[in-house]
């Protein structure tokens, strides 16, 4: 086992005749080097890679805007190797996919759906109604958007959980029309479990198209795919950049980058469980980040061994190993308080607290997409069925953003109903403020209402 800049040197005992190359994971002590490495991990999709991808995304979006369905078919053939004609999947196919699920999978999907629904139903915001000091009525009213576009990624894995995590809050919000897009597989069809989850969640309109071109279709509309009001759902770098490019034409949930987990652990944490949770994140993508901050030298030494052991025979070993070697990190910290400080600087998407007393530590945390407290709360339960949404801010954006929610699919409108008494009491101040800004007609619109010669009804 090779450990770069080790806090505690360790070599795993592996049979050289059967093992892959020794796993290398960066291990540092708390300090500026660790902080700098965390910053580099947070910015791992920046620089020239992002600039080159952004230019390609702009070209794709423009082609979709100009050519509509023809562009979707051509681009899908180019990038996915299939021509998804027709684009829409019949509703009957969704029903067949659900009926084709085995009983164990159906029960798991129903359990997840029920828990996610129960949690999100409690998120509905209440309308606000206030009566002012002069009898004026003020308020805020929530209403759903008319159409929501749900992006469900494919490629390296299928994500029926993402269907539920996007469709459920949209339906709870009351969105009239849900439009789901998801990439086709090599046979030209999306994963059947994804289609089954769509049926369960009440999605009836599904199109087999993915990538930046699917985002363009949702934003601009094509002959087959309607333009939507908000786009939600995670994707790769091209999907994220496409969402960024169309923001303003449509709303988006967030700019989700590659996934990440940060584990804070003390001497009470089991190295096999820590390793399992780091690998659970790393297996998503070669750009996934898996980070351990620990106060235990022994744990820092044991976790790399456990990682190597669990990678043996792993079905996604190549992806997982690359993520660990490129974006894995172990930092030995002086205290849990300093570990919490480093975590806040990184602002992780997922934060696990594998410590003896997680609640006080959770109270110290300011920035995290989701916090998993204690040894019985692996991040995987949040991915699938805990209840809170698994679409979370990444790459440090947890400093100012939160999880996808029911409010993602709602917009609020202010309501103002002044009466004569309220206008008479406040109107002179409005006139003064308008004149201070040089806006004559603003002032005049109030002054005329206050004039005895003009008395509007009410």
CB 165 within 8 A of CB 150: no
Give yes or no for residue 1 having a pLDDT over 50. Answer: no
Q: Which of 258, 262, 210 is nearest to 368 (CA)?
A: 262
Angle between helices 336-346 and 32-42 (to 10 degrees): 30
CB 301 within 8 A of CB 332: no
Query: Where do the domains of the chain lie, and which CATH numbers do they carry?
Result: 2-44+257-386 (3.40.50.1980), 48-254+406-411 (3.40.50.1980), 418-450 (no CATH)
Return the DSSP state at 17: T
Sign of the alpha-carbon dihedral angle for 308, 314, 320, 322: positive
Give yes or no for residue 441 having a pLDDT over 50. Answer: yes
- How much is the mean pLDDT over the chain? 93
For 237-279, what is each residue's pLDDT tens digit? Answer: 899 999 999 999 999 999 888 899 999 999 999 999 999 999 9
For 316-343, what is each residue's pLDDT tens digit? Answer: 999 999 999 999 999 999 999 999 999 9
Sign of the alpha-carbon dihedral angle for 38, 384, 283, 82: negative
The confidence score (pLDDT) of residue 338 equals: 96
The confidence score (pLDDT) of residue 424 equals: 97
For 10-50, what is each residue's pLDDT tens digit? Answer: 333 333 334 467 899 999 999 999 999 999 999 888 777 77
d(CA 57, CA 385): 33
d(CA 156, CA 163): 16
The confidence score (pLDDT) of residue 362 equals: 98
Residue 51 confidence class, pLDDT cut points 50, 70, 90: confident
Report the percent of the chain where pLDDT is more than 90: 87
Active site positions, annotated: 349-350
Structure tokens at 405: 């929610």
Tell me the average pLDDT across 392-404.
94
By CB neighbour count within 10 A (0-12 exposed, 13-18 middle, 19+ buried), where does 377 fall? middle
């Amino acid at each position: 086992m090779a450990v770069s800049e080790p806090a505690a040197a360790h070599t795993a005992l592996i049979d050289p005749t059967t093992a892959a190359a020794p796993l290398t994971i960066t291990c540092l002590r708390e300090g500026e080097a660790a902080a700098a490495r965390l910053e580099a991990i947070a910015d791992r999709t920046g620089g020239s890679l992002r600039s080159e991808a952004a230019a390609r995304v702009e070209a794709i979006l423009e082609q979709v805007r100009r050519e509509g369905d023809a562009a979707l078919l051509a681009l899908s053939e180019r990038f996915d190797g299939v021509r998804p004609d027709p684009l829409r999947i019949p509703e009957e196919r969704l029903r067949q996919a659900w009926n084709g699920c085995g009983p164990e999978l159906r029960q798991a999907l129903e359990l997840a759906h029920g828990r996610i629904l129960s949690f999100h139903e409690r998120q509905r915001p209440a309308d606000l109604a206030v009566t002012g000091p002069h009898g004026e009525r003020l308020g805020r009213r929530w209403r759903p958007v008319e159409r929501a576009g749900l992006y469900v990624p494919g490629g390296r894995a299928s994500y029926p959980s993402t269907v539920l995590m996007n469709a459920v809050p949209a339906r709870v919000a009351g969105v009239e029309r849900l439009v789901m897009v998801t990439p086709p597989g090599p046979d030209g069809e999306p994963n059947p479990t994804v289609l089954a989850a769509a049926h369960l969640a009440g999605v009836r309109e599904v199109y087999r198209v993915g990538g930046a071109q699917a985002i363009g279709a949702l934003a601009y509309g094509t002959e087959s795919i309607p333009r939507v009001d908000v786009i939600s759902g995670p994707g790769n770098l091209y999907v994220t950049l496409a969402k960024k490019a169309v923001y303003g034409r449509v709303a988006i949930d967030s700019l989700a980058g590659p996934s990440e987990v940060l584990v804070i652990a003390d001497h009470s944490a089991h190295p096999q469980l820590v390793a399992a949770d780091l690998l659970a994140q790393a297996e998503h993508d070669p750009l996934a980040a898996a980070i351990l901050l620990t106060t235990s030298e022994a744990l820092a030494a044991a976790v790399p061994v456990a990682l190597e052991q669990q990678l043996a025979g792993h079905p996604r070993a190549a992806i997982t190993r690359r993520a660990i070697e490129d974006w894995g990190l172990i930092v030995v910290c002086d205290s849990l308080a300093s570990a919490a400080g480093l975590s806040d600087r990184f602002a992780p998407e997922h934060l696990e607290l594998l410590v003896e007393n997680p609640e006080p530590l959770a109270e110290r945390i300011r920035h995290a997409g989701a916090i998993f407290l204690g040894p019985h709360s692996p991040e995987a339960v949040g991915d699938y069925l805990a209840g809170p949404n698994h679409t979370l801010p990444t790459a440090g954006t947890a400093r100012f953003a939160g999880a996808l929610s029911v409010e993602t699919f709602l917009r609020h409108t202010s309501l103002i109903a002044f009466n004569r008494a309220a206008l008479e009491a406040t109107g002179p101040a409005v006139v003064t403020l308008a004149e201070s800004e040089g806006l004559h007609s603003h002032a005049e619109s109030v002054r005329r209402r206050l004039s005895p010669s003009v008395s509007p009804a009410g």
